[in-house]
Amino acid sequence: MAYQTFRQEYLQVPPVTRAYTTACVLTTAAVQLELITPFQLYFNPELIFKHFQIWRLITNYLFFGPVGFNFLFNMIFLYRYCRMLEEGSFRGRTADFVFMFLFGGLLMTLFGLFVNLVFLGQAFTIMLVYVWSRRNPYVRMNFFGLLIFQAPFLPWVLMGFSLLLGNSIIVDLLGIAVGHIYFFLEDVFPNQPGGGRLLRTPSVLKAMFDTPEEDPNYNPLPEERPGGFAWGEGQRLGG
């Protein structure tokens, strides 16, 4: 019974979010079981381009460290904001969402050549948070019951939280930078005088991922829920 419930809930998760979070969890499980090591996964331009270990371009986005607070924190944010984007502004536009993944991953990899980061998954999560926060500017957030602010400040609050924990903020800045570039090119520049759409989803992606009809039994996650997770008191503001 529990398995059937879990399976049903799992299949309710939209496909891109389901695939990415599952890949992250399985990668971490494989490392914990010592089937693979982080040294086989991390971002290393020399090994990628000189020794043709191409898989590192993907695997460095799938490992968030050993199971612990940092891993759980990142998985919660990755799952919630990736899902809210896919069920919100990318609802019915799976190909466009996949293209955002590819564009953001490519840009982040290029920037990664110039910063000393070996895993880019956390920066990618910040990118997703940034895009969601800019597309939902009037959502009010309650962070651990301590801070109340509008959604666009969330990436900066997370950066401040990283700073308090003694972590490098380069990860956060990289995610914010890539998220802002995507948001500007997709949401801002096309609406400017003389602007236009510079990012266009390739037709091959549309043919692969977009379906003409949606599942009538699909139960979306409400995007207006601020993070969908009970930080601190966990009370929804204004409700």
- Dist. CA 77–CA 120, nearest whole Å: 15
Amino acid at 132: W
The pLDDT score that the predictor gives to residue 229 is 39
Tens digits of residue pLDDT in 131-147: 999 999 999 988 767 77
- Dist. CA 1–CA 7, nearest whole Å: 10
Q: What is the mean pLDDT of residues 216-230?
A: 48
The pLDDT score that the predictor gives to residue 228 is 39
3-state secondary structure of 139: coil
- Determine phi and psi for 148, rounding to 5 degrees: -120, 125
Q: Is the pLDDT of residue 216 over 80?
A: no
**Which CATH code, of 3.90.650.10, 3.20.20.150, 1.20.1540.10, 3.10.129.10, is assigned to 15-207?**
1.20.1540.10
Q: Which of 103, 92, 101 lies closest to 197, judged by CA?
A: 103
Tens digits of residue pLDDT in 177-212: 999 999 999 999 988 888 788 899 999 999 998 765
Q: Looking at the DSSP assignment, which residues form a beta bridge with residue 148?
A: 142
The H or E element containing residue 142 is strand 140-143
- Dist. CA 102–CA 122, nearest whole Å: 16
Tens digits of residue pLDDT in 76-115: 999 999 999 999 999 989 999 999 999 999 999 999 888 8
Do residues 120 and 131 touch, judged by C-beta distance below 8 A?
A: no
Do residues 160 and 169 touch, judged by C-beta distance below 8 A?
A: no
Do residues 36 and 133 touch, judged by C-beta distance below 8 A?
A: no
Residue 107 makes CB contacts below 8 A (sequence gap 6+) with: 178, 181, 182
At 225, the pLDDT band (50, 70, 90 cuts) reads: very low
Higher pLDDT, 219 or 42: 42
Q: Looking at the DSSP assignment, which residues form a beta bridge with residue 150?
A: 140
Following CA atoms 31, 34, 36, 42 in sequence, which dihedral angle do they give, to the nearest 10 degrees? 50
Domain range summary for the chain, segments of one domain joined by +: 15-207
3-state secondary structure of 150: strand
Q: What is the mean pLDDT of residues 64-78?
A: 89
DSSP single-letter state for residue 184: I
The pLDDT score that the predictor gives to residue 224 is 44
Residue whose tokens read 């997370």: 158
The H or E element containing residue 161 is helix 154-164
